[in-house]
Amino acid sequence: MTKLYWFSIGLTGFIYFGFPVIMYLLAQLFGKEPQQGGIAPFVSMIIAVHNEERVIRDKMLNSLALDYAQDKLEIIFTLDGCTDKTYQLLSGFKDPRITIVNNHERVGKVATLNKTVPLAKGEIIVFSDANSIYDPGALRKLTRNFTSDKVGCVAGRLSYTDTDNTSVGKGESLYWKYETFIKIQESKLGKLLITNGSIQAVRKNAYPYPNPEVADDFSVPLLIQTKGYKVLYEPEAVAYEVATQSLKEELAQKVRIVSQGFKGVKYLWKQLLALNPLGIFELLFHKVLRWGVAFYMALAFLFNIALINEPLYLYLFILQIAFYLLAITGFLLRNTNKIKIFYIPFYFCLVNFAAVIALFKFLCKEDTKTWDKAHTTRVGEAR
C-alpha cells in the first residue's frame, strides 16, 4: 500500500512538474528556434460561426482591420446552422475580401471547417472563432513561420481579458501561463501538442480533414505531425478572449474539452501511433495521464488514511486536508477572492473534477461535436 501511495503522488507530481522540466531540458539540448522570414502568402481566414450575433460585428471589423496585404487575404465566415441574426449582420458588410458560406444545417465546427477548406484560395489557412479579437499584426506573425516547407501548422497565443474579477478567471489565467511555458518547449522541438482553435494557421495542403467527432485543436496538430510536418507556437501572434466569469460555464467548458480529448484518442489512436516517441510521450503526460489526476489524488487520499498511524503519513494527511480546505475556501470566495493561496487549489480541483465528469460523459457517449460557447465570453451585442 505504501508503494501505491507514493506511485499515486509521484505520478501526479511528474505530470505537473517533472514533465515540464524534461521538456525544458530536451528543448535546451535539441530544440531550434523557428526559421522566420518576411513572407506574405495568400491567407484564407476561416471563422466558423453558430449564433454569434452578439459579437459578429466586432469580429468583422477586427478582421477587416488586420495589418495584412488586402490583395492576399480572404475572410470566410462559414455559418453552422445559425438561427439568429448573424447572417443578416454579416450581409451588411460589403468588401471584396469577404465570403459568407451559409450552411443551414448545424453539423458542428469541425464538419463545417472540413466543408469550407476546399473553397479557400489561400496557401495558408487561419482558423479563428467569432469571439476572438486579433492583434493587428497576428496574421503576419503567424505566416512568417511558414518559411520552411517542413512547417505544417502554427498556433498563436490566446490571451484572456477580465481575469481579475473572479477566482475562475484568475485560475484560468494562471493555467494558461503554465500551459504557455510547456508550449514554448514543445514548439522548440517542432512538436507542439495542442493548438487553440481560435488562432491556428495551417498549410492548406497539410490540412488533415479530421473526424468531425474530434475537436480541431486536438486533431489538427497531431494529425499534421503524423504527416512529418512541424507544429510550432508563435506567442507574438495574439488573440484576445474574455475569460469565463461563471463557475458553471468554466466547468462546462473544461468538461467539453476533456471529453473531446477522450474521443480524440478513441477515434484517432491508430493514426496517433504514427507519432514519433517524443510525440507519444507528450500525448501521454501532457494530456492522457493528466486527465486521470483526480483518480490518482483520490487513491492517494484513501491510501493515506490506511497509513495514518505512522507519523510521516499523519503529517502528509494533514497537508492533504489543508490543501482541500484551501480549495473549498477558494470556491466559497470565488467571486471576491484575491489571494492566490485560495484560487490556485480551487482551480486545480475544478479542472480535475471536470475531467471526472468528462470521463463519465465520454463513457455515456454524449454528443460533444456541437456546443454553445460560454455566454460570459461574449461581450459584444447585436447592432
For the chain, domain boundaries: 1-42+124-383
All three cell numbers of 99: 465570403
Integer Cα distance of 219 and 375 in angstroms: 25
pLDDT above 70 as % of the chain: 91
d(CA 383, CA 377): 18
Cβ atoms of 211 and 109 closer than 8 Å: no
Q: 314-372 pLDDT, tens per residue?
A: 999 999 999 999 999 988 887 765 667 777 888 899 999 999 999 998 888 776 555 55
Contacts for 73 with CB less than 8 Å, ≥ 6 apart: 42, 43, 45, 66, 97, 139
Closest CA to 247 of 353, 325, 320: 353
Give the β-pairing of 151-161 and 230-242: parallel
68-77: pLDDT as tens digits: 999 999 999 9
Show Cβ contacts of residue 92 under 8 Å, excluding neighbours closer than 6 positions. none
Note whether 220 and 200 are within 8 A (CB). yes
**pTM for the complete prediction?**
0.88
Q: At which residue does the C-alpha cell 484518442 appear?
A: 265
pLDDT digits (tens), the chain, 383 positions: 899 999 999 999 999 999 999 999 999 999 988 888 888 999 999 999 999 999 999 999 999 999 999 999 999 999 999 999 999 999 999 999 999 999 999 999 999 999 999 999 999 999 999 999 999 999 999 999 999 999 999 999 988 776 555 555 566 667 778 888 999 999 999 999 989 989 999 999 999 999 999 999 999 999 999 999 999 999 999 999 887 667 888 788 889 889 989 999 999 999 999 999 999 999 999 999 999 999 999 999 999 999 999 999 999 999 999 999 999 998 888 776 566 777 788 889 999 999 999 999 888 877 655 555 555 455 544 33
